[in-house]
Amino acid sequence: MKEFGEKAFVSGNEAVALGVRLAKPHVIAAYPITPQTTVVERLAEMVEDGSLAAEYMHVESEHSALSAVMGASAVGARTFTATSSQGLLYMAECLHYASGGRFPIVMMNANRSLALPWNIYGDQRDSLSLLDCGWIQFYVEDAQEALDMVLQAYAVAEHPEVLTPVMVNLDGFVLTHTYELVDLPPQAEVDEFLPPFQATNKMDLAKPVNMGFTATPADYMEFKYQQHQGILRAAQVLADTDRAFARRFGRSYNGMVDTYRCEDADTVLVTLGSVCGTVRVVVDQLRESGHRVGLLKLRCLRPFPAAELRTLLANAKAVGVLEKNISLGYEGTVFTNVASALARDAKAPLLLNFVAGLGGRDISKQDISQMFTQLFDARQNSPEQRTIFVNLQVETNEQRLEQVHHG
Amino acid sequence: MSHPKVQPFTRPKHIDDLPQGTSFTAGHLVETTASWRTQTPQVEAEQCNACLQCYLVCPEGVISVVGTGITIDYDFCKGCGICARACNKHAIKMSEGGV
């Protein structure tokens, strides 16, 4: 990790570690897992060399890691943990506990495929399979956004109107292990942007409370409604936070969604995470040959930017959703969410779901160009099948049947 | 130290009247657990020498010391019978039924 004053040449993981150090958490507990390992290694080194005054707790599992930071959060500490894939799944019970308890923990997740088959490479099936656990979910594109969103994540999570944990997702390897030059915000500026966490409910000897209590059927549902409202309010808080961040640090991410050449686009690819960079290049290429195409980047999946999608895609004729994910037996979860948002409009655009990059398979410019071609074609012939596995290396029975049909 | 007593519970009228998250004043109990009991401990005061073994082992903390003897908070006793088993003087008998 090379730091040069206000710049650093770092991997995505190291950018997260630098962001966490700037946020000054009191307690870090994590268990190493590929491809998250280097973020917690760097944090351990920072605690060791005294540049980060945090308690680093060694734990025997991810379940314990999240339990430990929940305990620390309960006494009013700012906390951090990080995981990936199987480790995130092992935390699943605690994810619901942390959100139900309104503990504003920030966690980095390195998006990685799930076993079986065993595979350590990047896809988004880990976090997307846990979309319903009551956490705010951010997806970032590059190292700078990763660093910046760690800072924004604490501001959103700890906001008294929100009090909800935040998961910051980075694509495994493609982002976690790619080195980039990042701007390091000055510590004094970060201290002003992110003042110490003021817990409204905490364990306190002077004012003892029960925490993590039981609610019977007569009262349970109101707590879930309250939690739901907290996550919904995070949309406005994130927008305000981004504006405050931009004023201080000169970088803005436009809250829950960002767009690229979408204004007059009739064909838009909606996606999330690091692949957005590749899509931008393809959009530029297709624009040069006269196609009105654009990119819509989802930065936040919970809360879900449904209203923003309806506005930004109001004039699109065809919309593709590209995700490194499939809800087996139905369609991609991101696609389901986008389709649900657009279904409220009578003239919803034609929708295709591109399932790609599972288990770390590369998504090339050619693949993305092909997706746009399929969207152009779909506007003519409205295909029956909406979910398409991209770049399968074998012929499928469906393809063979189609050949027989047309041949 | 005695077990906190049940306090009257006024159900919140507005969502903002709920505590934010699962956190509220310690010891604010709104329900009893007496109905869980199928057997009930009875203390025979003459046989009790206040050794407090029962007080130490009660998992619910419902046994407290009063004067030279003990008393059981039947609002929260779940009738597990551990106190009766622990009593060297056989001063606690379990009777059938929840009362």
Contact A216 B31 (CB under 8 A): yes
| Confidence at residue A268, expressed as pLDDT on a 0 to 100 scale | 98
pTM: 0.93
- Taking CA atoms, what residue in B is nearest to A229? B15
Contact A229 B15 (CB under 8 A): yes
| Confidence at residue B99, expressed as pLDDT on a 0 to 100 scale | 75
Confidence grade of residue B27 (pLDDT, cut at 50, 70, 90): confident
The sign of the dihedral angle between the CA atoms of A100, A103, A104, A105 is negative
| pLDDT above 70 as % of chain B | 98
Same domain (yes/no): A145, A73: yes
Confidence grade of residue B2 (pLDDT, cut at 50, 70, 90): low
CB A256 within 8 A of CB A235: yes
Same domain (yes/no): A83, A165: yes
Q: What is the pLDDT along chain A (407 residues), one digit of tens a residue?
A: 777 779 999 999 999 999 999 999 999 999 999 999 999 999 999 999 999 999 999 999 999 999 999 999 999 999 999 999 999 999 999 999 999 999 999 999 999 999 999 999 999 999 999 999 999 999 999 999 999 999 999 999 999 999 999 999 999 999 999 999 999 999 999 999 999 999 888 888 898 888 888 898 999 999 999 999 999 999 999 999 999 999 999 999 999 999 999 999 999 999 999 999 999 999 999 999 999 999 999 999 999 999 999 999 999 999 999 999 999 999 999 999 999 999 987 788 999 999 999 999 999 999 999 999 999 999 998 888 899 999 999 999 988 888 887 76
Question: What backbone phi and psi angles, to 5 degrees, belong to A44?
Answer: -60, -40
The H-assigned helical ranges of A124-258 are 125-128, 143-157, 187-193, 220-249
Q: Which domains does chain B have, with CATH numbers?
A: 33-96 (3.30.70.20)
Contact A210 B31 (CB under 8 A): no
| Confidence at residue B1, expressed as pLDDT on a 0 to 100 scale | 53
Three-state SS at A106: strand
In terms of phi and psi (left: phi > 0; alpha: psi -120 to 50; beta: otherwise), the region of A300 is: beta
Same domain (yes/no): A232, A262: no
- Taking CA atoms, what residue in B is nearest to A208? B26
CB A367 within 8 A of CB A391: yes
Single-letter code of the amino acid located at A98: A
Kindly list the residues from chain A whose CB atom is less than 8 angstroms away from the CB atom of residue B18. Answer: 222-223, 226
Residue B6 scores a pLDDT above 90: no
Contact A209 B25 (CB under 8 A): yes
CA distance A28 to A49: 15
Same domain (yes/no): A208, A354: no
Same domain (yes/no): A302, A238: no
Closest of A334, A345, A174 to residue A269, by C-alpha? A334
Contact B18 A213 (CB under 8 A): no
Q: Which residues contact A385 (CB under 8 A, 6 or more apart)?
A: A398
Alpha-carbon A270 to chain mean position? 14
Q: Which CATH number covers residue A265? A: 3.40.50.920
- Taking CA atoms, what residue in B is nearest to A205? B26
Q: How many CB pairs under 8 A join A and B?
A: 51
Closest of A7, A377, A339, A325 to residue A171, by C-alpha? A325
Same domain (yes/no): A348, A203: no
Question: What backbone phi and psi angles, to 5 degrees, belong to A277?
Answer: -60, -45
CA distance A39 to A398: 43
Of the three residues A200, A233, A249, the one that is the final residue of a domain is A249
Q: Which CATH number covers residue A205? A: 3.40.50.970
For chain A, what is the domain count?
2
CB A78 within 8 A of CB A53: no
Give the residue numbers in A contacting B (CB under 8 Å), as ranges: 100-103, 163, 200-201, 208-213, 215-216, 218-219, 222-223, 225-226, 229
Q: What is the domain range of residue A142?
A: 2-249
Within A23-62, strands assigned E span 27-30, 55-58
- Give the closest-approach CA distance of A63 to chain B in angstroms: 20
In terms of phi and psi (left: phi > 0; alpha: psi -120 to 50; beta: otherwise), the region of A23 is: alpha
Of A201, A211, A225, the CB nearest to B15: A225
Give A376 or B10, the one with higher predicted confidence. Answer: A376
- Give the closest-approach CA distance of A161 to chain B in angstroms: 10
Contact A223 B27 (CB under 8 A): no
| Confidence at residue A94, expressed as pLDDT on a 0 to 100 scale | 98
Structure tokens at A221: 């549902």
